[in-house]
């Protein structure tokens, strides 16, 4: 999968958020998309709520906002390249929204289980 130019131009802002400390590893926009697609597909296939991936969502939303800014600054509004970038932007937005929608549906279907799993994960994280 190739990464659109407008997504690559957001790389510097993403690098600042993803590598704020020296201990964190840098992540490329292509890797963010791959991880988000994988999390989305896993969430669709899983019968129960999986651990959240808000780190990936936050990064992808930052990239989407950067792409929107880049597209609004473009002077040629009718070019094929701009249309392709808008299509990619809509696709990324759909994936992100659908991922969150499916998580919310699972929580609404069984809120007690979701709370129990959340408490368990928090307790595991404190150990």
3-state secondary structure of 2: coil
Q: What is the pLDDT of residue 118?
A: 82
Q: Residue 123: which pLDDT band, with cuts at 50, 70 and 90? A: confident
Environment class of 10 (CB within 10 Å of its CB; exposed 0-12, middle 13-18, buried 19+): buried
| Of 12-21, 80-89, 100-109, the least confident | 12-21
Which CATH number fits the domain 5-126, given the four candidates 3.30.70.20, 1.20.58.1030, 3.10.20.30, 3.20.20.70? 1.20.58.1030
Q: Which one of 14-18, 71-75, 86-90, 120-124 scores highest in mean pLDDT?
A: 86-90
pLDDT tier at 78, thresholds 50, 70, 90: confident
**Per-domain residue ranges of the chain:** 5-126
pLDDT surpassing 90 at residue 42: yes
Is there a contact between 86 and 26 (Cβ–Cβ < 8 Å)? no
Task: Answer positive or negative: Cα dihedral of 102, 65, 73, 37.
Answer: negative
Q: What is the pTM of this model?
A: 0.72
Helices (H), the chain: 5-8, 11-18, 29-45, 54-73, 80-109, 111-126
The alpha carbons of the chain give a radius of gyration, in whole angstroms, of 17
The per-residue pLDDT for 6 is: 42
Residue 53 dihedral angles phi and psi, to the nearest 5°: -125, 55
Tell me what pLDDT residue 114 has.
Answer: 84
């Amino acid at each position: 999968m190739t990464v659109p130019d407008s997504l690559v131009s957001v790389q510097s802002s993403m690098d600042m958020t993803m590598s704020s400390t020296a201990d964190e590893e840098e992540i490329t926009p292509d890797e963010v998309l791959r991880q988000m697609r994988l999390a989305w597909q896993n969430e669709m296939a899983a019968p129960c709520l999986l651990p959240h991936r808000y780190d990936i969502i936050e990064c992808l939303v930052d990239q989407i906002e950067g792409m929107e800014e880049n597209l609004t600054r473009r002077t040629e509004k009718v070019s094929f390249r701009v249309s392709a970038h808008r299509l990619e932007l809509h696709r990324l937005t759909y994936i992100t929204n659908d991922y969150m929608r499916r998580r919310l549906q699972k929580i609404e279907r069984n809120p007690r289980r979701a709370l129990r799993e959340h408490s368990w994960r928090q307790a595991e994280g404190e150990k």
